[in-house]
Amino acid sequence: MSANFDFNDFLRQTRAVAKMGSMTRVIGMIPGMAKVTPAQIRDAEKNLKIMEAMIEVMTPEEREKPELLAESPGRGKELPRLLEKQSSR
């Protein structure tokens, strides 16, 4: 038996965590995370939104098989461009 974790799973997990509340609230639930600064939390939220947007512009096949991105280096460079196009709409 093998377990596969793809970008669809990652997106589902991040959205499930987001339903728990703000990043500040979620981090507050984790023991030992009291040292995280508000600036670090803002950066984490920003990066998470960027990752979600990049996943959303991927094809269904790329979401299910992340290795396709590694096999096509040009596509990895294309995703940020597509993301920029999508955000300017």
pLDDT class of 87 with cuts at 50, 70, 90? low
> Which among 6-10, 26-30, 54-58, 84-88 has the top mean pLDDT?
6-10
With tokens 């950066």, the residue in question is 43
Residue 68 located in a structural domain: yes
pLDDT of residue 11: 94
As a whole number, the mean pLDDT across the chain is 85
Q: Which domain holds residue 29?
A: 7-87
Between 88 and 81, name the one with better pLDDT.
Answer: 81
- How many domains does the structure of the chain reveal? 1
pLDDT of residue 8: 95
Residue 13 located in a structural domain: yes
Measured between alpha carbons, how far is residue 14 from residues 26, 49, 88 in Å? Answer: 12, 10, 24
SS3 of residue 58 by DSSP:
coil
Residue 1 located in a structural domain: no
Contact 10, 55 (CB under 8 A): yes
